[in-house]
Each structure stands twice: as C-alpha cells, then as structure tokens.
Chains A and B, each alone.
Chain A
Amino acid sequence: MNVNSRYTLIAILVMGIVTFGIRLTPFILFGKNKTTPQYVVYIGNYLPPAVMAMLIIYCLRNINLYAFPFGIPEAIGIIIVAVLHIWKRNNLISIIGGTIVYMIGVQLIFV
C-alpha cells in the first residue's frame, strides 16, 4: 500500500495537537483558586464508559450477521478476552490470548 505522506503527516499533527490541547486545558482554564464547572466534571466522569462501548461496536461494524461466519469468530474472541481478563486481570494475557484465538478462528476454522 502507498502511504499518502502529506495527508498522514497532517492527520498525525491534528491528533497530536488535539491531544496536547486536552491535556493543557485544565492548566489554562482551571488554574489555582478556580473551581471546575459542574457539567465539565459530569461529562468527564461519564463520557469514557459510553465512548468505550461505542469503540467496541465501531471495531465490529463490518461484521455481516447474515452471512458466514455470522460474527462467530468475533463473539468467541470477545468472550475469551472477557473471561481471561475477569480471571487474571492482566491486560497482556487477555489481549494476546483473545487475538490468537481469533486469528486461529479466521485463518483455520472459519474459512
């Protein structure tokens, strides 16, 4: 694949600037002696779990439930990750374990 250098460079800069901007904002806005607005605290508290749920669905958006393999490899992969993680609470084991099972699934079983 050919990488569009100009596009990629600008995109990376955009992500970098927005990320730094977010991390910098409290130092500019809520300096000492100023209280954080209530709605900012509220959104910051409850947005992350909603966004994480969205991102998981986003990852799964191209599954076709009406054609083989009906999303079964993804379902198995996610169950493996969840079981491993609830059991061991080790990010690395959960991610690698689930991914290997998924890869075996799509490469050897559901082909």
Chain B
Amino acid sequence: MKRAIKAAFPITIPVMLGYISVGMAFGLLFEKSGYNLLWAILMSIVVYAGSMQFIAINLLTGGAGFIEIALMTLFVNIRHLFYGLSFIDKFKDMGKKKTYMIYSLTDETYSLLCSSKAPEGINNNLFLFSISFLNQMYWVIGTIIGSVAGSLIKFNTKGIDFAMTALFVVIFIEQWSSYKTHIPVVIGISSTIISFLIFGSNNLILPSMILITITLMIFPKQIDKKDCEENEEDVSYEC
C-alpha cells in the first residue's frame, strides 16, 4: 500500500493544488455562512462533489426543500453518470475497494484514473485506489484549512461569495472551448431567463431545469448534428 501511494502521489500533484485551493474556498465560505468545521468536513466526506458543495451553501442558507435539493444535485452532477462507463471493466476485480472507487469518482479523479497506469511492480488496483484516496484527502484538507482560517481570521468578507460565481464562469469557459456547438448554452440561458421572469428569483432552479431538459429533448437533431462530425472522441468511453 505504501509503495502504491508513493507511486500515485506524483501524478496527483496537479489535482492536489486544485483541490486544496478550491476546498479552502469552500471551507471559508461555509464557515462565513455560519457552519462550523464539523459541518464542512461532513459535507466534504459525504457529498464530495465540488460545484455541488458550493450550491449547497446557497440551498442550506435559503432553507430549500429536500426534493429541490435532490433534483438540484441530480442536475449538477448528472455528468458523473458517464464517468462510470469507462470503469465498468477496470473496477471489476477490486473487491471491497470498488464501492469507494465509485463513490469517489469526481471529475478530476476520473481524468487521472483514465490517463494513469501503475508503474512496473506495483499492483494496479492499489495504485488506482491510492489516486482516488489521495484526491479526497486533498479536498478534505483544503476544506479544513479554509474553515479554520475562516473562523480565525476576522476580515470584511462582504462579496467573498463571488468565488462561487467565479468558479462557474471558469467551468463555463472550459466547457465552451471543448464543445463545437453552443446551442445548449443558448438553451440554458434562455430557459433560465424565462423561468426567472415567470417564477421570480426564489423559485428559479426547478422550472429552468425542466425547461432545459424538455428543450434539449426537442432539438436533438440540430444539436447533435453540429457536434458529431468533428467531436467524435467525446462520445467514446474508452480510456
């Protein structure tokens, strides 16, 4: 196990930098919203999903209903549905570790597991497990640092919640450059604005998500046609 962790550590360094810093932002925001260290750790262990944890702060402080919370989680994390497809074979003989591997399959872990192979002489299953485990450790450590810093340092935090908007803008730009078609973005924006105008700012999410899904289902030809010619590698699940 020790050797597997040693071998896995170098390739997890990029994720370490990302997870510790974004985890810190989450811990800090959560603390400033009135939730102490224990809540932050619990969230990073039980939920363990980056953007969703930021949304959760909003949902919790706004007292959202459990159904709304469940649906929001479903929509924000639905992309994870596809990560598992690449590993149905790979995880097959991992025994007890398989459950953990599935549970900890975040965006970053997915990309590392896809691209990494154990060096000579190291058990591949232990190696993959080490990657997943190290990544979650980074996330939890970041959360702890952020939460503790938030409770110790007193400063004017007005506007710090903009970090969440910034995170989504960053993800948006990354997605924008990896997609050939931008029709889904147009659908997302218009559905949300229509829902905003009809239902107001407090009940915006659910109607927008329904509207987005329906509109996507109406125009598969227009959307898929534009994309499939040049973007075929996106649809393949082989790592």
Q: Is B73 an interface residue (CB 8 A)?
A: yes
Task: Select one of B69, B81, B163, B171 contacting A52, CB under 8 A.
Answer: B171
Asked if B158 and A106 make an inter-chain contact with CB atoms under 8 angstroms apart, the answer reads yes
Asked if B46 and A15 make an inter-chain contact with CB atoms under 8 angstroms apart, the answer reads yes
Given A44-B81, A98-B162, 16 further pairs, Cβ under 8 A: A9-B42, A11-B69, A13-B46, A15-B46, A19-B80, A47-B75, A47-B184, A49-B172, A50-B188, A54-B191, A58-B204, A73-B159, A85-B169, A95-B25, A98-B165, A103-B156
Q: Is B151 an interface residue (CB 8 A)?
A: no
Residues of B within 8 A of A58 (CB): 58, 192, 204-205
Q: Name the interface residues of A45-87: CB closer than 8 Å to any CB of B.
A: 45-62, 73-74, 77-78, 81-82, 85-86
Instruction: Give the contact-size bracket for chain A.
Output: 35 or more
Residues of B within 8 A of A91 (CB): 18, 21-22, 167, 170
21 A-B interface contacts by CB (under 8 A): A1-B61, A8-B35, A16-B46, A18-B70, A26-B83, A30-B85, A39-B217, A43-B213, A58-B192, A59-B165, A61-B204, A74-B162, A78-B166, A81-B169, A81-B170, A91-B170, A96-B21, A98-B165, A102-B166, A103-B162, A107-B158
0/1 string, B203-239, CB within 8 A of A gives 1: 0110011001100110010011001000000110000
Asked if A102 and B189 make an inter-chain contact with CB atoms under 8 angstroms apart, the answer reads no
Q: A47-B184, A102-B159 are in contact. Are A22 and B191 (CB under 8 A)?
A: no
0/1 string, B65-86, CB within 8 A of A gives 1: 0100110011111111111110
Interface stretch of the complex, out of B120-128, B133-141, B173-181:
B173-181
Q: How many residues of B are counted as interface, with CB atoms below 8 angstroms from the partner's CB atoms?
A: 93
Task: Select one of A10, A13, A45 contacting B235, CB under 8 A.
Answer: A45
Asked if B175 and A18 make an inter-chain contact with CB atoms under 8 angstroms apart, the answer reads no
Could you tell me the dominant secondary structure of chain B's interface residues? Answer: helix
Asked if B165 and A60 make an inter-chain contact with CB atoms under 8 angstroms apart, the answer reads yes
Asked if A14 and B185 make an inter-chain contact with CB atoms under 8 angstroms apart, the answer reads no
Instruction: Report the separation of the CA atoms of residues A55 and B227 in the bound assembly, to the nearest whole angstrom.
Output: 23
Closest 8 CB pairs of A and B: A53-B188, A50-B188, A1-B34, A26-B84, A16-B46, A103-B159, A61-B201, A18-B73
Residues of B within 8 A of A42 (CB): 216, 220, 224
Q: Name the interface residues of A5-35: CB closer than 8 Å to any CB of B.
A: 7-16, 18-20, 22-27, 30-32
Chain A residues within 8 Å of B, Cβ to Cβ: 1-3, 7-16, 18-20, 22-27, 30-32, 36, 39-62, 73-74, 77-78, 81-82, 85-86, 91-92, 94-96, 98-99, 102-103, 105-107
**Shortest beta-carbon distance from A33 to chain B in Å:** 10
Q: A47-B212, A51-B188, A103-B160 are in contact. Are A23 and B169 (CB under 8 A)?
A: no
Residues of B within 8 A of A2 (CB): 34
- Nearest A residue to B201 via CB reads A61
Asked if B75 and A51 make an inter-chain contact with CB atoms under 8 angstroms apart, the answer reads yes
Instruction: Report the separation of the CA atoms of residues A98 and B192 in the bound assembly, to the nearest whole angstrom.
Output: 24
Instruction: Report the separation of the CA atoms of residues A99 and B24 in the bound assembly, to the nearest whole angstrom.
Output: 14
